[in-house]
Amino acid sequence: MHDTGKTSLLYGAGGRRGLVAAEHASRPREEDRMVLFQREDGGIAVREVAFRPYLWLADAGLISGLGPLEVRELRGDGAFRYLLFFRSWADLEAALRFLRKATGLAPTARDAPYFVLRDPVQQYLTSSGETFFKEMEFGSVHRLQVDIETRTEPGYEFPNPEREGDRILLIALSDNRGWSEVLGGPGISEKRLLESFVQRVRERDPDVIEGYNLFKFDLPYLITRARREGVKLAIGRDGSEMRTRPGRFMAAERTINYTKTEIFGRQVVDVYFLVHLYDVTRRELESWGLKEAARHFGVAVADRVRIEGGRISETFRVDPSRVRRYALHDVLETRRLAELLSPAYFAMAQMVPMNYQNVCVRGNAAKIDALMIREYLRQGFSLPRPDEPRRFAGGYTDIFFQGVARNVHHCDVRSLYPSIMLLQKIRPHSDELGIFLQLLGRLRDQRMEIRRVLGSVTDETRKRALLARDAAFKVLINSFYGYLGFAQARFNDYAAAEKVAARGRELLRDIVDWLTRNGALVIEIDTDGVYFVPPRLTGVQDLERFRRSLRESLPAGIELEFDGVYRAMYSYRMKNYALLGEDGSLVIRGAALRSRGLEPFQRRFLEDFLRLRLEGREAEIPALKECYVKAITRREWPVEMFTKTETLQENPSEYVRKVREGRRGRSAAYELALSSGREYRAGDQISYYITGSTARVSAHAVAKLAAEWDAGARDENVAHYLAKLEELCEKFGVNEIIRRQKGETRNER
């Protein structure tokens, strides 16, 4: 149930409850329809409603060439003053082809005199005011989890569905109603396994299908193998097969190309993407694998079966029941992660006029844009042309101290940029209706109301729903500043964004100045938060007075919260640091300290070194280095400690052509693929290590497949890996600490 203060501005003006899917239906010689799936009384009701596609037009002179349509003139001063309705999506596409040819501009071009939402479901939700999951709790949506285990042909390290010798061994399924099953086993053909999968999905009839790395692995693998076996994966609610097209997912600086998969009447959610989005702000995860994520969030299965990926095929041959348990644990952990991470996106889908599936992958600025456009359409107002993109100064980041500091505190200006926008009434110049600040204000007000009542809520279901909405509000609120500088936003405004950032920099400098004047050591400042060591205080009351004085130094409406105290902090360089929590937990942030370009032994050494430094055990650092030197020299570690894994981004033949043309350098992974005698393709992964006897080598000339490593005739390049360790020790001051300790020892003598 929504709070009583809900408004059409946030939740849309439609009143349809229980909507779990919407699908566009186009039929010859008939007007288009939208097929709606609504959860009612524990079942699914299917309804069809009229749907007329539409686009916005700026130039009335173009209307005559667009065929039969209805034209509605909109109010306001926006460039796009005409709203054109079409009988069918086919008519809309024909109009778009005409407009592109007549203007020479694509619909996405900023100067194009026409604008369209290319997703028919988003069009329907925007014009109708409907949203998904109205009056529903997260637990009432039927969610099914999928995980596959595959055979990899001998000689290859990773599965590829195009290979004749690869296949699906097992398909594990579970749902949020307590059911689970593992399909397949020895003697069961792949064709029969795939047919059983289709049957189970249709029997269980979920609203949402979830998985971990579902879009990049499980679904493409299922589709490819089904095609080879002649099985139709007819798991749509209308009996249709899955539809695919290329997709791109972005989480901060990370971009993932994937196969976007749609299933008629169902939503598809990849929990792997949700983990990436979580880690954008936290930067706490060492990797984004399922097992690591489950451990991080505390949802790992207690008796978790562990099998290295490269040993699935062999383990299945000798102990198939162990692989079955392993697969079942995968789907159970996927379900638990989804139950932690999905509710915030579920709450967003109750507001934003987008498919739930798209809410989970689209950027937050695009969601705000969708809310803005929906309200302008509801009020019959024209849309503006986006501003010309340009660069502008952003947030304030600085570093004041490098090294180890103890008793470190962190304070954060709560929603710094949103607070500035609301206080100074900064909004896009093109927002005639003032919707931007209305949205921001109501999101903030509802979040404050949630925070006010949370402490008194005892019902766990209600509490989870409120926490999910609180998380959704927080994410959206903190994205309004980014929206102003989003090139594709209808109402972007770079001057407004610049004004907000400038005021934010002033406030943060004021905080730094106050802390310095009052005896604190400022370590680092990053956009809206400050790490610092307070002055020597005699007790809790002094600390509270110190914090209260800092809060009172800020303007009214700017709220400061103290959200962390750490035993120690290692400040390496801007945005690269390690924190030792009061409970002994270690958090490492920044590409320099967590680079995935490091070999595993380097990452482990760096973590061990940082812990010793932060715990004040520097006397043990020489012994730590000596331990690693001995392990490398004596060849005590398995090859996994030295292994690098790379994904082939193109076919090896394309790599050869580019090298021949001088368009790229040689790569160890590709050279190994070419020399293996096996047919590697784009998307395959190669794991390798470095052989030889000298420190300076060309990796492509001496790399060897990790699968070919022989524990009885070890050939890893000891000199090379010792040099890598030495380079790390010099870079992070390990050697300086050792030299200093030796000097101190000589002086004592």
Q: What is the pLDDT of residues 393-415, one digit of tens each?
A: 888 889 999 999 999 999 998 88
d(CA 451, CA 37): 33
Q: Residue 651 maps to which CATH number?
A: 1.10.132.60
Domain membership of residue 100 (yes or no) is no
Q: What's the confidence (pLDDT) of residue 202?
A: 97
Which pLDDT belongs to residue 180? 97
Report d(CA 584, CA 652) in Å as an integer.
47
Q: Are residues 322 and 197 in the same domain?
A: yes
β-strand pairing of 560-573 with 576-581:
antiparallel
Q: What is the pLDDT of residue 286?
A: 66
CATH code where residue 156 lies:
3.30.420.10
Residue 214 belongs to some domain of the structure: yes
Asked whether residue 285 is domain-assigned, the answer is yes
Does residue 639 sit in the same domain as residue 585? no
Together in a domain, 274 and 206: yes
Q: Phi then psi for 638, rounded to 5 degrees?
A: -70, 165
Residue 208 lies in a domain: yes
| Number of domains the chain is built from | 3
CATH number for the domain spanning 485: value is 3.90.1600.10
Are 403 and 416 found together in one domain?
A: yes
Write the pLDDT tens digit of every residue in 334-386.
999 999 999 999 999 999 999 999 999 999 999 999 999 999 999 999 999 99
Mean per-residue pLDDT, 654-663: 93
- Number of residues that make up the chain: 749
pLDDT (tens digit, 9 = 90+) per residue, 254-310? 777 888 999 999 999 999 999 988 887 666 676 788 998 898 889 999 999 998 877
Q: DSSP for 677-710?
A: SS---TT-EEEEEEBSSSSS--HHHHEEEGGG--
Model confidence at 748: pLDDT above 60: no
According to the model, what pLDDT value does residue 282 have? Answer: 65
* Same-domain check for residues 564 and 428: yes
- E strands, 449-574, where? 521-526, 529-533, 560-573
Span 43-75, pLDDT tens digits: 999 999 999 999 999 999 999 988 788 999 999
Helix crossing, 416-424 with 494-517: angle to 10°?
110
Q: Is residue 447 part of a domain?
A: no
Residue 364 lies in a domain: no
Whether residues 571 and 624 share a domain: the answer is no
Q: Could you list the residue range(s) of the whole structural domain that residue 420 is in?
A: 397-432+480-591
Residue 664 lies in a domain: yes
Is 86 a residue whose pLDDT tops 60? yes
Domain end marker among 558, 591, 624: 591
Q: What is the pLDDT of residue 283?
A: 65
pLDDT for the residue 1: 39
Instruction: Please indicate, yes or no, whether residues 568 and 604 belong to a single structural domain of this protein.
Output: no
Average pLDDT estimate for 28-52? 93
Chain mean pLDDT for the chain: 92
Residue 22, pLDDT above cutoff 70: yes
Three-state SS string across 299-330, please?
A: CCCCCCCCCCHHHHHHHHHHCHHHHHHHHHHH
Domain-embedded: residue 354: no
Instruction: Name, in order, each residue with C-beta under 8 angstroms of 509's C-beta and a sequence gap of 6 or more.
Output: 396
Question: Domain check: are 264 and 219 in the same one?
Answer: yes
Task: Lowest mean pLDDT of 31-35, 187-191, 306-310, name the range.
Answer: 306-310
- Contact yes or no for 193/167 (Cβ under 8 A): no
Nearest to 131 by CA among 478, 479, 371, 320: 371
* Model confidence, pTM: 0.88
* 143-151/208-211 β-pairing: parallel
